[in-house]
Each structure stands twice: as structure tokens, then as C-alpha cells.
């Protein structure tokens, strides 16, 4: 697993990103660098801007100022001086460089598990359907669902659907995988199977940014934890440091205390 | 194309349109009032009845919903008097037709409303010792009303528009007034523009008012 | 009496065929126009959205009969001359198009936002998202109400009898004019209309059941 370091070249470079919804400032000059192979967990109270930040990375949300670069390339806006939104075609191509797994799975209900994975491979990556199918089968195997390739989402459990969601995202071979509270909609007994998949991807060296409420998982699987509060980065560092009980960060201490109280 | 709009003749005969609009509203109100009674009685009967009665009520609903209103209007006005010994005016004939017509749509509205009343409410009614009749009047119907009010409003608006079919048996409602002016003044475009506006304004005003009533009904109790 | 009616049967059959022909034309034309305008309403630029919104709310806000008269009597007045058959088809198509626009809007609106986002996230372009993700799902929600609404075209077509077009309704009235057998003929007509429309509504109900499992 890669470790934090400011001198390794950043794969993802978020620099002073701000965003408001009307008069509410949801992101206040957020900066964050993520190196290749890193696993970064973003934690924080609800309304702290974690999910918004994640959605800015693949430009599902636009941002008002600052820049987000992947491999040195600005995500949502054209290169050069003026902040001009990229064309629809460019945006699609940029988004294909990141994978995203959603809280609500968002599988396409009219396509089978394999079909969900094949759609991007055939239409975006231009692969033949035979090729796409074998990639889909490979990834379904990886997430333990080889036998469900031809099932419709409605025929799968929540945990299975989410594993298909992960397979759909990684099959595109994204540079970064974005995980948005992927276990929040699951029954407790199904959380484990999904986290196991994420862990095995981390071991493969997949670069990941995840918003999560699973503190134990964040501690075990991530190389760095970012604590967000009120739209800004309030603390960042290795899991042991950030999650230490004796932190001097007031907001973080309150958050952790409340969290522990609800856990035990 | 050189068509110049000239509304003068329309305003000269505007009483035909205004009177027609009022009659359209009257026809719609009387018809839906009778239709609600038909719909309620049959819906309550339907949910508690056996297969035969259900079959008969369902046949009535399906028949009316699948036959053009204009045919029903002709059937009642020109057809029925040839087999039964009864004389009635065009207006009465139309109201009877539209009432039976709306009744069929309202049976469906009320039936699904009754079935949407949560089981727990009926059980709660039983638990405090209400008789079946009391449960119907005090528990099921008020709840059903709340559920069905929007559909009831929509039915009323479409009945208001359906009154235009009364013109085919010369009931002097709004569309009849439009045709009269059409044939007598030939200010065709003008009269239909005015009549379109009258239907639109009345229809959307009614809809707005009914939505207010719905909101009041939802919060007033 | 039955002999007289039997004698008129070929004439009635012609009227019935015309009713079906008008309905078919209206259904096909309005499907095309409705889908085009419906997509315009959901995804088009603001002026187009407003134009479609006003068109749809106006047409749905007035009686079909007024629309039919407006088109039939109004178009010659402004110099457009159409055969009464085509004026009738045009008026009914306008009425039906407004309905199709609303079915389409409702079908697209019922698809959760997450579907678009997931499609964006794997890098599909706008057109690809519509083609492979939104429309296949919207289609399943569009189809049952649309088929059910075909009965409105069939029922609405009975109004074209007022323009002197010999559809089933007009044929019945003409035969009654000769035979004075009003009741049997109206009932026969009602049964014919009922037969067509009931079959359509059964088909729509069956489709709805078939697509039910995909709802969630």
C-alpha cells in the first residue's frame, strides 16, 4: 500500500475547490492530493460536504472555483485560462477515467448483471460484445457472483447488487475508484461481503477515494483519513493519527465521541 | 393570408357564450352530483358484495368506459324513448347520460380509495366497538374522501369539458353557442379563440379552486 | 326489422373500417409527434419547452369537440383547405399528441436520477444515456398507459361524424334515418366500439403485469 507523501506525483489533485448551493457554502477551499495506489477515506458528519466533494471529482456536480485534476488534466473545464465547461463528449471521456460506486447501487434494472458491466465496455471502450462479456465474467468472478451473470438486478440481494456495482465500475479500468457510502443502504449482515471486495481491490493497488461511515473499515483499509467538517478539510493523516482518542481537534473529538457512543 | 381578426360580432353575441358557459357548468355540477351518489353506492356495494354483483358492477364500468360519450348521448336521447314510454327534454337526457357516464368513472375512483384505507384504521374502529355502519361512515368514508379528492377534482374538470357533447342534441351550452356564432356571423377564428380561452380559464380556475379545497380538507380535520 | 338491419350491414362495416382507419392514423401520427415533442419538453432548450408546455396544456384544457370544430371551420377561414377527413385526422392527432407528450414526460420523470448519474459515471454521452439507459426503462412505463390511451383515439373518432364523415357513428345514424330502428343499431354500435376498446385495455393491463417486475 502506498503511503502519504507530498513529493510523490499526485494522481488526483484537488486544489482550493469551493462550491455553494445558493447561500449555503458546501465546499470551502478544499485541497487534497491522492497518489497512485492510495486509499483515502473521507469521514465526517452529514452535511460536511464529503459526498459533494466526491461527486465533483467525476463532475456529477460542478464547482464554483478551484481545480480538480486527474493525471494533470482538469476534470470539468477546458484547459487554458477561461473556465469553460467541457463539451458533453469530453466530459463523458473524462468520466470514463474514474469509476463510481453509489450508495443506492443505481444498477440499470433492464440489464442483467453482466449487461450492466458490458454497457460501458461496449459503448465507451468500444469492445466487441464477446470481449466485454469475458471481462464481465472475470469481474463477476472476482466479486463472487459468476453464477449470477444473467440475473436481473431485481433478482439480487442488496449486497449482491452492490458487488455488481463495484464490478461495473472497476471493469472500465478506471484510474481512480470513487465509493460513495456504498454500504449505507445495506442491511448490517450484508455489509461484510461488500467491504471484503473493496479490501481485495485495495490490495491490488487500486487507487480509491471513499466516503464512509464504517470507521473500523476506514481504519483498516485506508492509507489516509480525511476528516471533513462544515465544507472544509478539518484533519488529515494516517488512520492511527486521525482516529486517535487524544486528538486536539475539537470537532473531530466530538465526532469520534458521538460515533463511539453509538457503536458501543 | 390576409385574415383580419374582428371580435365585434363576437361581443355582440357574447350572451350566447356566457349563458352557454353557465349552462355547461350547471350540467357538469348536476351530473357529477348524481354521479357521486351512483359511484359511492356502487363502490361500497362492490367491496362487500359477492361475485355476481361485482361482475354486474364491473360490466357497467367497463361498458361505459369503452363506448364513446356521443353514442351514449344519442342512445339515451333518440334511442331510449323508442322502447320506453317516457318523454324528456334534451337537457334532462344529457344530464342523465353524463351522470351515468361519470358514475362509471367514479365507481373506480371510490373503489380504489376504499381499498386504500389502511387495514389498521378499520381494526382500530372495531377495537373501540363501532358497528360496521359506523365504521363506514366515521372511519372508511372520511379517509377514502381524503385519498380520492384529487381524482374527484380531475373527473369534474373532464366532465366540464365533456358537456360540449351536449351540443349535438342542441343543448345551448358553450360549444353550441360557439357553433351558433360560427354559422351566423362567420367570425370563425374569433369565436373559437374566445371559446378556447373561456374553456381554459374556467377549467384551470376550477382546478386551482379544487386544489385549494383539497389542501383545506387535508389540514382542516 | 332484423332484415333491414342485415341489409345495412355492409354499409355499417364500411363505417367501422373508416373508424379504425382514422384511429390508426391518429395513433401512429400522434405517437411520432408526441415522442418528438415530449423529448423536446424534457430535454429541449427553454423556448421549445415552453412552446410544448403551452401547446399541451391548451389542447388538454379544451373539449376535443371544440378542437375539431376549430380546425375544421377555422383552417379554411385562414386559407388552408383540407378535406374534411384530413381536418378530422389533424384535430384528433393534435389532441392525442398532447396526451403522448404527457405520457412520455411522466415515463422519463419516473426514472430515478441515479440512473442518469450511473450512466454518466461510466462515461456514456448524453445520446448514449438516452438510448441505452433512459429510453429502454421509460419505454416500459410509457407503453401501458399509451395503449390504454389508444381507446381515447377510438372514442374521440366518433366525433368526426359531426363533420359529415361516414365513420361508424355516422353510418349508424344514417341507417337509423332510413330504418327507424334506433335502439338495436345504437346497441350494435356500442358493442362494436366496446369490442375494440376492451381488447385494447386488456392488452394494456397484460403489458403492465409483464413489466411489473422491473419496476424496482
Q: For residue A206, is pLDDT > 90?
A: yes
Placement of cell 382500530 in the chain: B124
Q: What are phi and psi of A177, to 5 degrees?
A: -110, 125
Cα angle, residue A153 at apex, residues A150 and A156 outer, rounded to 5° = 90
More confident site: B64 or B185: B64
Give the model's pLDDT for residue B122: 85
Answer CATH for B8-219 from 3.30.360.10, 1.10.760.10, 1.10.1510.10, 1.10.3720.10: 1.10.3720.10
Residues of C in contact with A54 (CB under 8 A): none
Q: Where do the domains of chain A lie?
A: 108-169
Measure CA of the first residue to CA of the last residue in chain C; give whole Å.
58
Contact status of C107 with chain A (Cβ, < 8 Å): no
DSSP class of residue A71? T
Q: At what angle do helices C182-211 and B51-65 cross, to 10 degrees?
A: 100
pLDDT band at residue B220 using 50, 70 and 90 as cut-offs: low
**Whole-Å CA distances, A61 to A32, A97, C12, C118:** 17, 16, 62, 13
- Contact call for B175 and C70, based on CB within 8 A: no
Least confident of A244-258, B43-57, B163-177, B196-210: A244-258
Region A5-15 average pLDDT: 76
Cβ count within 10 A of residue A5: 9
* Mean of pLDDT values over A195-218: 91
Closest chain A C-alpha to C215 CA, distance in angstroms: 8
pLDDT digits (tens, 9 = 90+) for A231-262: 999 999 999 888 887 778 888 888 888 877 76
- Tell if the CB–CB gap between B164 and C66 is shorter than 8 Å: yes
Question: Which element (helix H / strand E) includes A65?
Answer: strand A65-70
Q: Answer whether C77 sits within 8 Å of B188, measured CB to CB.
A: yes
Instruction: Determine the pLDDT at residue B95.
Output: 97
Please report residues of A whose CB lies closer than 8 A to that of C118. 100, 102, 106-108, 168
**Closest Cα of chain C to A107: distance in Å?**
7
> What residues of chain C score a pLDDT lower than 50?
215-216
Give the Cα separation of C5 and C141 in Å (integer). Answer: 44
pLDDT value for B42: 95
| Contact flag C118-A109 (C-beta cutoff 8 Å) | no
Q: B49 touching C, CB under 8 A?
A: no
Question: What average pLDDT score do residues B79-101 get?
Answer: 93
What whole-number percentage of chain A has pLDDT above 90? 64
Long-range contacts made by residues A114-121, C-beta under 8 angstroms, separation at least 24? A114/A140, A114/A149, A114/A150, A116/A153, A116/A164, A116/A168, A117/A164, A117/A167, A117/A168, A117/A171, A119/C122, A119/C124, A119/C132, A119/C133, A120/A96, A120/A168, A120/A171, A120/A172, A120/C122, A120/C123, A120/C124, A121/A171, A121/A172
Residue ranges of chain A whose CB lies within 8 Å of a chain C CB: 58, 60, 88-89, 91-100, 102, 104, 106-110, 119-120, 123-124, 152, 154, 168-169, 172
Tell me: pLDDT of B150 over 60: yes
Is the minimum CB–CB distance between B124 and chain C shorter than 8 Å? no
Q: Which helix (H) or strand (E) holds A100?
A: strand A98-101
* Amino acid A161: pLDDT: 95
- Which domains can be identified in chain C, with CATH numbers? 2-214 (1.10.3720.10)
Mean pLDDT of chain A, nearest integer: 89
List the single range of A75-89, B152-166, C9-23 with lowest mean pLDDT: A75-89
Instruction: Give the pairing type, strands A98-101 and A232-237.
Output: unpaired
Asked if A touches C (at least 3 Cβ pairs < 8 angstroms), the answer reads: yes
Average pLDDT, chain B: 91
A-C Cβ pairs (cutoff 8 Å, strict): 79
pLDDT tens track for B11-62: 888 888 999 999 999 999 999 999 999 999 999 999 888 899 999 999 999 9
Pairwise CB contact (< 8 Å): B80 & C183: yes
Q: Cα–Cα distance between B21 and B5 in angstroms, integer?
A: 23
Please name every residue paired with A74 in a beta bridge, in sequence order, or none if there are none. A69
**In this predicted structure, what is the pLDDT of residue A263?**
60
Q: For C183, which of B65, B70, B79 is closest by C-beta distance? A: B79
Residues of chain A with pLDDT > 70, as a percent, come to: 95
SS3 A77: strand
Using a CB–CB cutoff of 8 Å, tell me whether B200 touches chain C.
yes
- The pLDDT value given to residue B221: 54
Assess whether pLDDT exceeds 90 at residue B151. yes
Give the residue, B31 or B183, on which the prediction is more confident.
Answer: B31
Reported pTM: 0.83
Q: In angstroms, what separates the C-alpha of C50 from chain B's closest C-alpha?
A: 17
What number is the average pLDDT over the span A188-217?
A: 91
Beta strands A65-70 and A73-74, pairing class: antiparallel
Please compute the mean of the pLDDT values over residues A6-34 and round it to a whole number.
Answer: 88
- Which grid cell is B137? 361512515
Amino acid at each position: 500500500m502506498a503511503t502519504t507523501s507530498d513529493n510523490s506525483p499526485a494522481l488526483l489533485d484537488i486544489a482550493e475547490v469551493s462550491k455553494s448551493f445558493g447561500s449555503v457554502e458546501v465546499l470551502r477551499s478544499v485541497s487534497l492530493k491522492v497518489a497512485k495506489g492510495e486509499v483515502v477515506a473521507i469521514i465526517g458528519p452529514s452535511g460536511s460536504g464529503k459526498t459533494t466533494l466526491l461527486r465533483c471529482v467525476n463532475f456529477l456536480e460542478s464547482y464554483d472555483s478551484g481545480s480538480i485534476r486527474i493525471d494533470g488534466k482538469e476534470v470539468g473545464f477546458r484547459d487554458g485560462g477561461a473556465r469553460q465547461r467541457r463539451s458533453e463528449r469530453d466530459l463523458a471521456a473524462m468520466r470514463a477515467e474514474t469509476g463510481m460506486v453509489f450508495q443506492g447501487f443505481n444498477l440499470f434494472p433492464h440489464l442483467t448483471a453482466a449487461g450492466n458491466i458490458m454497457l460501458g465496455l461496449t459503448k465507451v471502450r468500444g469492445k466487441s460484445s464477446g470481449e466485454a462479456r469475458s471481462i464481465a465474467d472475470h469481474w463477476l468472478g472476482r466479486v463472487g457472483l459468476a453464477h449470477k451473470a444473467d440475473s436481473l438486478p431485481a433478482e439480487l440481494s442488496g449486497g449482491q447488487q452492490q458487488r455488481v456495482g463495484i464490478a461495473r465500475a472497476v471493469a472500465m479500468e478506471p484510474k481512480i475508484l470513487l465509493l460513495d457510502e456504498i454500504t449505507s443502504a445495506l442491511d448490517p449482515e450484508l455489509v461484510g461481503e461488500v467491504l471484503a471486495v473493496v479490501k481485495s481491490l485495495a490490495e491490488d493497488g487500486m487507487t480509491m477515494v471513499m466516503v464512509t461511515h464504517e470507521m473500523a473499515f476506514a481504519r483498516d483499509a485506508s492509507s489516509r483519513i480525511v476528516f471533513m467538517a462544515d465544507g472544509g478539510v478539518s484533519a488529515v493523516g494516517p488512520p492511527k493519527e486521525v482516529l486517535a482518542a487524544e486528538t486536539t481537534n475539537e470537532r473531530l473529538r466530538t465526532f469520534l465521541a458521538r460515533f463511539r457512543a453509538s457503536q458501543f | 393570408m390576409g385574415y383580419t381578426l374582428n371580435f365585434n360580432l363576437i361581443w355582440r353575441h357574447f350572451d350566447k357564450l356566457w349563458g352557454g358557459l353557465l349552462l355547461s357548468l350547471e350540467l357538469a355540477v348536476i351530473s357529477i352530483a348524481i354521479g357521486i351518489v351512483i359511484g359511492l353506492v356502487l363502490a361500497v356495494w362492490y367491496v362487500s358484495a359477492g361475485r355476481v354483483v361485482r361482475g354486474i358492477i364491473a360490466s357497467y364500468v367497463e361498458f361505459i368506459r369503452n363506448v364513446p360519450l356521443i353514442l351514449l348521448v344519442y342512445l339515451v336521447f333518440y334511442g331510449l324513448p323508442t322502447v320506453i314510454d317516457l318523454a324528456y327534454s334534451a337537457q334532462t337526457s344529457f344530464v342523465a347520460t353524463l351522470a351515468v357516464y361519470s358514475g362509471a368513472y367514479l365507481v373506480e375512483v371510490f373503489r380504489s380509495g376504499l381499498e386504500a384505507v389502511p387495514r389498521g384504521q378499520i381494526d382500530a374502529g372495531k377495537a373501540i366497538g363501532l358497528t360496521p355502519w359506523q365504521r363506514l361512515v366515521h372511519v372508511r368514508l372520511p379517509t377514502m374522501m381524503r385519498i380520492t379528492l384529487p381524482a374527484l377534482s380531475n373527473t369534474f374538470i373532464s366532465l366540464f369539458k365533456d358537456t360540449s357533447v351536449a351540443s349535438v342534441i342542441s343543448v345551448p351550452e358553450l360549444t353550441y353557442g360557439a357553433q351558433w356564432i360560427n354559422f351566423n356571423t362567420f367570425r370563425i377564428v374569433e369565436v373559437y379563440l374566445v371559446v378556447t380561452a373561456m374553456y381554459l380559464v374556467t377549467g384551470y380556475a376550477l382546478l386551482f379552486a379544487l386544489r385549494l379545497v383539497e389542501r383545506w380538507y387535508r389540514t382542516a380535520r | 326489422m332484423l332484415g333491414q338491419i342485415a341489409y345495412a350491414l355492409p354499409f355499417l362495416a364500411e363505417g367501422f373500417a373508416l373508424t379504425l382507419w382514422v384511429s390508426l392514423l391518429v395513433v401512429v401520427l400522434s405517437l411520432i409527434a408526441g415522442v418528438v415533442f415530449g423529448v423536446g419538453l424534457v430535454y429541449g432548450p427553454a423556448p421549445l419547452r415552453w412552446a410544448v408546455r403551452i401547446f399541451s396544456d391548451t389542447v388538454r384544457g379544451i373539449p376535443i369537440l371544440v378542437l375539431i370544430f376549430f380546425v375544421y371551420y377555422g383552417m379554411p377561414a385562414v386559407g388552408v383547405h383540407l378535406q374534411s377527413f384530413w381536418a378530422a385526422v389533424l384535430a384528433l392527432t393534435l389532441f392525442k399528441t398532447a396526451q403522448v407528450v404527457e405520457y412520455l414526460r411522466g415515463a422519463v420523470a419516473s426514472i430515478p436520477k441515479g440512473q442518469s448519474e450511473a450512466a454518466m459515471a461510466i462515461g456514456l454521452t448524453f445520446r448514449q444515456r438516452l438510448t441505452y439507459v433512459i429510453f429502454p426503462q421509460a419505454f416500459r412505463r410509457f407503453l401501458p398507459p399509451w395503449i390504454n390511451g389508444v381507446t381515447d383515439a377510438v372514442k374521440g373518432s366518433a366525433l368526426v361524424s359531426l363533420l359529415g364523415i361516414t365513420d361508424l357513428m355516422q353510418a349508424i345514424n344514417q341507417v337509423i334515418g332510413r330504418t327507424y330502428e334506433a335502439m338495436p343499431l345504437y346497441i350494435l354500435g356500442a358493442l362494436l366500439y366496446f369490442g375494440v376498446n376492451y381488447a385494447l385495455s386488456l392488452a394494456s393491463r397484460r403489458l403492465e403485469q409483464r413489466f411489473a417486475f422491473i419496476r424496482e
